[in-house]
Structure 1
């Protein structure tokens, strides 16, 4: 596709260096124009806050129905996932989430999450040295979500391993994307087999989806897409947010002290974590009509565009000192959980888990410090870590 040179770039946002630290590149692209054509991947990039927010809130113009990935393989594999379906089909599918995962519906498991968080904090305080990813961030998302969905015990380990890194498949057709496909295919096969054999535990979210499919309210493929989408999103994104939060508090001890002094700041602190290190950095949409963004940028109907949560959340046009981690910022309008009909359906659960973990740790840990070099888990879409060696002091 021939695009105007004035608003194009050879930046590769999916190289190892870019995935390790994308923020200088995001700023360069934001400063260039409201949207920039990335020649390497033949896709537009939206990185400023206002255009990203507008796109997320306008599914009629920026459709997810052709997939949110950057290659046809994942868009076909996930064509029945909730995030890849627009209304009217999306409305009934999402209701299955909100009926079980809304704030009021989660009251039943809030006590369980609090108890797990308290036990986790006691364990970390006793350990002294720990891995922020494996010892803390993975604990609640894995344990709680496996129970909430109702996966049989014997498939849980396999699902977790297969789901790890599955967001790689949403990137462009690079080596990282191709390497992720065997795990993605294995995960979809395991979910399909579990569904077909009616092995989801009764009373869980999974059985609710399965029952809806068997009543004919949604197709089998849609049920499997819902289950797959929640496995991937619920694990990787919440683990990423908690991991980043621990690292940020270790790097900014004054902010940790402030949270300990004022525990009521916990909701604002978690919003700030998700703003400054958005777990999902980029998804894409397809324009259904010509979109004039000003400054000479006209995105034609049918063009695919990256809608960058990570770039928008660090846009200095909207957030003062966006590179600064400040838990009293109260960024209620951050885009880390998306927005509109495709906003994260599980964000209430993610907040519940994040608030519980950090609040429990703040009551017991006087200081968090790094005990080694953090190891990034480079991923085309999800920004996370493989390991963060840390030390906890009472």
Structure 2
């Protein structure tokens, strides 16, 4: 570990996984950015990188800041989570990613685009006729829990538990706290299901999980990895998209001029999606392990230390973004936000997430004149940022 007597280092005395830091994170991220390019968090015994340029560079340095020793902020999970796609390094990572990412690449998504668009259209049409609804349960969750769960091909018992399993998987990647420890029984339940419930004869033929068994038959992956990669499908395909959709709805509701701009110029849809993911990254950040000394603009992170790379901080860095706390669908050069990560570990499902959010917005543009939103209730999760509930109403027009 780093010897503080020999080396000066910027520090910030905060538990970045506390309830307070989860619910009100942006002041803490700003403080981290101000204190230095890399800041030691003594309560979490790890470094934090929060400036945009430094986050991008750190994510690109995947041969030094490695994922193969785990990406959690605690040793318990890092000791056991060594086969999932998040916790592998090149060249193994790239080979495995080609197999499991195939269904969520543009060619794979082309086969399901019409179904996603039709479901979004039907959902929005139904919500316009209601006096009010929960934007999370009645809108943001619909596509992931219907179309996407069917694409996975899980038995009914698995589909009903997906949200609970996914939330626990992300809680376990945080620091050592009650949420992390409480997640373990749920994660063991998920593992049991993937090992003994999502078997070849139980999943839908032609589904994403069935494709894993086909890949094992073809020698592309080891058969023993099928349960692990099934878990890799379940966790990232839900909460991140659901929370990003909730953030998109909230900011469009709070900024009616931005919604009108989108209705006037639907070509801004891609920008609006990127802006929602930038301003409220659904994943706060993952950790990396320093396999060698790593320099960040004059600060040296010693080999053997762990580093939290804060996507959510980088996306609001004043050094990169003008008025970073403003939601602006006209914002230029939005594609370098890191809400979907960056580099070899960039989110596999980002094209699917964009397709789902685009379908919802297109359906809304045709029917919704005004979006009304109330105060959201936040989900408290060690790694994810999003709403548990979001009161909403669509005003037709």
Q: TM over 0.5: same fold?
A: yes
* Range with greater deviation from structure 2 (357-366 or 37-46): 357-366
Contact persistence 2:52–2:320 (CA under 8 A)? yes
- Answer yes or no: is 1:324 the counterpart of 2:304: no
Mapping for residues 264-303 of structure 1, pairs under 5 Å: 264-295=267-298, 297-303=299-305
3-state secondary structure, aligned to 2:381 = coil
Contact persistence 2:168–2:184 (CA under 8 A)? no
Match of 1:190 in 2: 193
Please list the CA deviations of residues 302-357 of structure 1 after superposition, one character each: whole Å capped at 9, or x if unmatched.
21100110000111111111111001114111101111110001111110001111
Match of 2:182 in 1: 179
- RMSD of aligned alpha carbons: 1.5
- Answer yes or no: is 1:238 the counterpart of 2:245: no
1:50 & 1:252 partners in 2: Cα distance?
29
2:211 & 2:11 partners in 1: Cα distance?
47
Please list the CA deviations of residues 21-71 of structure 1 after superposition, one character each: whole Å capped at 9, or x if unmatched.
100110001010000000001100000011110111121111000111111
3-state secondary structure, aligned to 1:283 = strand
TM-superposed deviation, 1:216: 4.1
Match of 2:133 in 1: 130
1:216 & 1:98 partners in 2: Cα distance?
16
Mapping for residues 55-94 of structure 1, pairs under 5 Å: 55-94=58-97
2:144 & 2:198 partners in 1: Cα distance?
22
Match of 1:202 in 2: 205
Residue of 373, 386, 389 corresponding to 2:388: 386
Contact persistence 2:194–2:228 (CA under 8 A)? no
Residue of 328, 334, 339 corresponding to 2:337: 334
Stretches of structure 1 lacking an aligned partner (at least 5 in a row): none
Match of 2:358 in 1: 355
- Runs of 4+ displaced beyond 4 Å: none
3-state secondary structure, aligned to 1:73 = helix
3-state secondary structure, aligned to 2:111 = helix
3-state secondary structure, aligned to 1:127 = coil
Residue of 130, 143, 152 corresponding to 1:140: 143
* Range with greater deviation from structure 2 (218-227 or 356-365): 218-227
Please list the CA deviations of residues 120-153 of structure 1 after superposition, one character each: whole Å capped at 9, or x if unmatched.
1101101130101000000011212112121123
1:167 & 1:221 partners in 2: Cα distance?
23
TM-superposed deviation, 1:369: 1.3
CA distance 1:113–1:197, shift in 2 (3 Å): closer
Match of 1:39 in 2: 42
2:74 & 2:169 partners in 1: Cα distance?
14
1:87 & 1:6 partners in 2: Cα distance?
31
Stretches of structure 2 lacking an aligned partner (at least 5 in a row): none
TM-superposed deviation, 1:260: 1.0
1:100 & 1:126 partners in 2: Cα distance?
34
Residue of 106, 118, 123 corresponding to 2:109: 106
Please list the CA deviations of residues 237-278 of structure 1 after superposition, one character each: whole Å capped at 9, or x if unmatched.
000000111111111111111111111100010000000000
Contact persistence 2:289–2:307 (CA under 8 A)? yes
1:57 & 1:153 partners in 2: Cα distance?
39
- Answer yes or no: is 1:308 the counterpart of 2:310: yes
TM-superposed deviation, 1:87: 1.6
Aligned length: 392
1:221 & 1:384 partners in 2: Cα distance?
33
2:153 & 2:173 partners in 1: Cα distance?
26
2:385 & 2:264 partners in 1: Cα distance?
30
Contact persistence 1:195–1:210 (CA under 8 A)? no
Match of 1:255 in 2: 258
2:29 & 2:166 partners in 1: Cα distance?
27
1:246 & 1:77 partners in 2: Cα distance?
37
